[in-house]
Structure 1
Amino acid sequence: MGIHKVRVVLTTWGSRGDVEPLVGLAVALRELGAEVSVCAPPDEDFSVLLGRIGVPLVPLGPTVRSVVANPKPPTAKDAFHLAPALVAARFEVLGAVAKGSDVVVATGLMPAGARDVAENLGIRYVYACFHTFGLPSRHFAPGMRPGTPSPEGETDNRVLWQQDAQRVNDLYGPALNSHRAALGLPAVDNVRDHVFTDRPWLAADATLCPSEGMTDLDLLQTGPWILPDDRPLPEGLAAFLAAGPPPVYVGFGSMAAYAPKDIARIAVEASRAQGRRTVLASGWAGLTSIDDDCFVVGEVNHQALFRRVAAVVHHGGAGTTTTAAVAGAPQVVVPLIADQPFWAARVAELGIGVAHDGPTPTVESLSAALAAALAPGVRDRAAAVARTIRTDGATIAAQLLVDGV
């Protein structure tokens, strides 16, 4: 009798911050002898990312760039087109890939359809998230979601979360229940809670993202799923870093439609006002600069780079916040959407950086935030917190999956 090899299907739809943790988990799973498939958006960036570990990308849905990397943010109408398309893609793609597998792990933008495919195949399903922001809670109100807004003046969080569930039903319910009916499965009346399950996994560090009392659900916190990165920094960047004091890193990731207007110039001038050079990440917004004291980078090893900068200015994605925290780099978070204000608040509460007031910095406001973040006490605090952050979350999660927990 041969030993059964655990087969795991990982799936997401979202930006790099949704994809890279799954790649980190895939590495850990394979180290334990599991077989892994990854179903993700067919963006070239993600194919390259998975190519680094030798796992092919199974394309699911449209590219993320086609939805978010436009001059204007997606509209509610866009969301109502995208939601049923993603549900259909999950039934089709996961329905084929997950046959013969043991477990489906889903994350990213409301992965309606993943649990249903697992249910139809009689295999396990795990929903994982990278923060507690979207999970029902008595302690805070839900975030914005396309659909009918809650009435002005409504303050009861329980009522607000019920209305959030209805918005999810409106977005995903008709398509989900249509596909379920085609498989002979009964209808689901609360899509959000069905997707989340009673015991979601939280792939975030307990210091950065404490879970105690944050949600009414029974969270299993594994720690963040970090993809190990031993790539050397590009020669030009290494030379720039060596040519002077540590610069300030500025990057807004995939926030193309939301990046603050003129942020490249503002960031360079704000850094200069603090006597610092700038490393500017072009990201999906295509940020660029022609200043001699600024070096523009594409996709590089952030784990290595963040250990060599004076501060990290970013949008407050879960991945960037965690990477900067592990590196012990002071942070300035300019939160734009979704969970980003939460991470900005945590960075400020922990004393490892500064939350910029609002999403549209000026040279003056960003310079002031940088001055505060560059204070010696903040770097000392960031270094102290860095030593507390767990980096083995992917291994913990992989072991749980292999053990069938």
Structure 2
Amino acid sequence: MRVLLSTYGTRGDVEPLVALAVRLRALGAEVRMCAPPDDEFARRLAGLGIRLVPVGPPVRALMRGAGLPSAAELSRYRTEMVGTQFEVFPAAADGCDVLVAAGLAQIAARSVAEAAGIRYVYVSYSAVNLPSPHHAPPPRPGWPEPDASDNRTLWELDARQVNEQFGEPLNTHRASIGLPAVDNVRDHVVTDRPWLAADPVLGRWREVPGLDVTQPGAWTLPDERPLPADLVTFLDAGEPPVYVGFGSMRPSPDIARWAVEVARAQGHRVLVSRGWADLDLVDDEDDCFAIGEVSHQRLFGRVAAVVHHGGAGTTLTAARAGTPQVVVPLRLADNPYWAGRVADLGIGAAVDTAAPTVDCLSVAFKTALAPGTRARAKALGGEIRTDGAAKAAALLLEAAR
């Protein structure tokens, strides 16, 4: 069996498919992956023996500024990406039996699979990305937020915005390969049988008529890399510190600085993860330590709390470690959703980033570090599953047979 996996985004978009690829190969499947051409992704896939088919510009270059690209730039990137996908995907899918596409940005994937006569599976990493009356659509960068309060109306407006961006380029390309036009691009990409690669304890799917969702669990791999010696020395030198990191996101400089100040004010040492934003220490005091890329699976069990942006992967890893969380979500994609889940489950606190202040961050820290929150986080950690990627790989192979 040959499988083409495809996504476009930051590490949080790529790593789940890497986990699926490893599990598929363990079952004897041949796997290749369409992903951004960033060096770190190329090295990661090469180290696992997975063929990378580069698509689009490097993601880190798009995230180079203090914020996201402008609405006009994002619109241009999205339109160009549709054309790039139609150029690259057919050859990448040649000889494959199934195409697994992760994320709404995979506009061309279903059409290419349809033209090739192969199976197509759409996967989301968060329930919030799938249409449902139980929640509103996620914020989509570069598009105005719909002015409505009813979830059904919001999803209708969301579909309209997706059509306005992608309808014409998608249908032009479909016509060129002899396929009929589609009138709802979002639902065409998502299908009525999507997969949800999220842990059912953290982010369960609530059933919706007309949408048959398969939820095998989150797609992760064990990360057994040892922690750097200097980090271990810092951890061993005192009480567990508070971790502050925002991954590939670029938060307001005030947020990162306030998080360090609040943690210190409440008597905690601090670990600052540099990430793509190149965060650094605010001073040279010995109660703070800056780190680069390390194994969160090994680290998070040794910290007092995890302060982060609300990425699906970071939320899952902190929850699995049984460590309380303070989520400072950017108004982007699934970040607010995971912040809400952490707060609803009582395993941490969420900060309203519409009007963040030191005071609200301080309250969030006190909530997250309270004994009851610690107890709930520890208990929930024991319920998190680790077999999602293996289960998904087995389902794909079973369906192929």
TM-score (norm: length of structure 1): 0.93
Question: Which residue pairs with 1:342 in the alignment?
Answer: 337
Question: Which residue pairs with 2:181 in the alignment?
Answer: 187
User: Hey, what's the Cα distance between the residues in 1 that align with 2:309 and 2:39?
Assistant: 22
SS at match of 1:252: coil
2:239 paired with 1:245: yes
2:333 paired with 1:333: no
Deviation of 1:213 (Å): 3.5
- 1:160-215: CA deviation from partner (whole Å, max 9, x where unpaired): 32221121111112211121111111111111000001010000011111102468
Question: Which residue pairs with 2:302 in the alignment?
Answer: 308
Moved more, 70-79 or 183-192: 70-79
SS at match of 1:133: helix
User: Relative to structure 1, is the Cα distance of residues 303 and 119 closer, same or farther in structure 2, using a 3 angstrom cutoff?
Assistant: same
The answer to whether the Cα contact below 8 Å between 1:24 and 1:228 also exists between their aligned partners in 2 is no
Indicate which of 13, 36, 41 corresponds to 1:18: 13
User: Hey, what's the Cα distance between the residues in 2 that align with 1:230 and 1:353?
Assistant: 26
- 1:73-95: CA deviation from partner (whole Å, max 9, x where unpaired): 22221222111221122222221
SS at match of 2:100: strand
Indicate which of 269, 277, 285 corresponds to 1:285: 277
2:115 paired with 1:123: no
Question: Which residue pairs with 1:36 in the alignment?
Answer: 31
Moved more, 66-75 or 306-315: 66-75
Q: Percent identical across equivalent pairs?
A: 58
1:2-401 matches, cutoff 5 A = 6-145=1-140, 146-147=142-143, 150=146, 152=147, 154-213=148-207, 217-256=211-250, 259-289=251-281, 290-291=283-284, 292-337=286-331, 338-358=333-353, 361-401=356-396
The answer to whether the Cα contact below 8 Å between 1:334 and 1:355 also exists between their aligned partners in 2 is yes
Moved more, 264-273 or 220-229: 264-273
Deviation of 1:376 (Å): 2.0
User: Hey, what's the Cα distance between the residues in 2 that align with 1:62 and 1:252?
Assistant: 22
User: Relative to structure 1, is the Cα distance of residues 147 and 295 closer, same or farther in structure 2, using a 3 angstrom cutoff?
Assistant: closer
User: Hey, what's the Cα distance between the residues in 2 that align with 1:18 and 1:183?
Assistant: 29
SS at match of 2:326: strand
- 1:211-239: CA deviation from partner (whole Å, max 9, x where unpaired): 02468521110100012211111111111
The answer to whether the Cα contact below 8 Å between 2:192 and 2:210 also exists between their aligned partners in 1 is no
Structure 1 spans left out of the alignment, 5+ residues: 1-5
The answer to whether the Cα contact below 8 Å between 1:314 and 1:320 also exists between their aligned partners in 2 is yes
User: Hey, what's the Cα distance between the residues in 2 that align with 1:156 and 1:351?
Assistant: 26
- 1:1-41: CA deviation from partner (whole Å, max 9, x where unpaired): xxxxx111111011111111011111111111111111111
TM-score (norm: length of structure 2): 0.94
- 1:298-329: CA deviation from partner (whole Å, max 9, x where unpaired): 11101101011110000111111001001111
User: Relative to structure 1, is the Cα distance of residues 297 and 285 closer, same or farther in structure 2, using a 3 angstrom cutoff?
Assistant: same
User: Relative to structure 1, is the Cα distance of residues 268 and 156 closer, same or farther in structure 2, using a 3 angstrom cutoff?
Assistant: closer
Moved more, 240-249 or 135-144: 135-144
Question: Which residue pairs with 1:3 in the alignment?
Answer: none
Deviation of 1:360 (Å): 5.7
SS at match of 1:249: strand
The answer to whether the Cα contact below 8 Å between 2:196 and 2:217 also exists between their aligned partners in 1 is yes
User: Hey, what's the Cα distance between the residues in 1 that align with 2:136 and 2:305?
Assistant: 32
The answer to whether the Cα contact below 8 Å between 1:136 and 1:216 also exists between their aligned partners in 2 is no
Let me know the Cα RMSD of the aligned residues: 1.8
User: Relative to structure 1, is the Cα distance of residues 245 and 361 closer, same or farther in structure 2, using a 3 angstrom cutoff?
Assistant: farther
Deviation of 1:359 (Å): 5.3
Aligned length: 396
Structure 2 spans left out of the alignment, 5+ residues: none
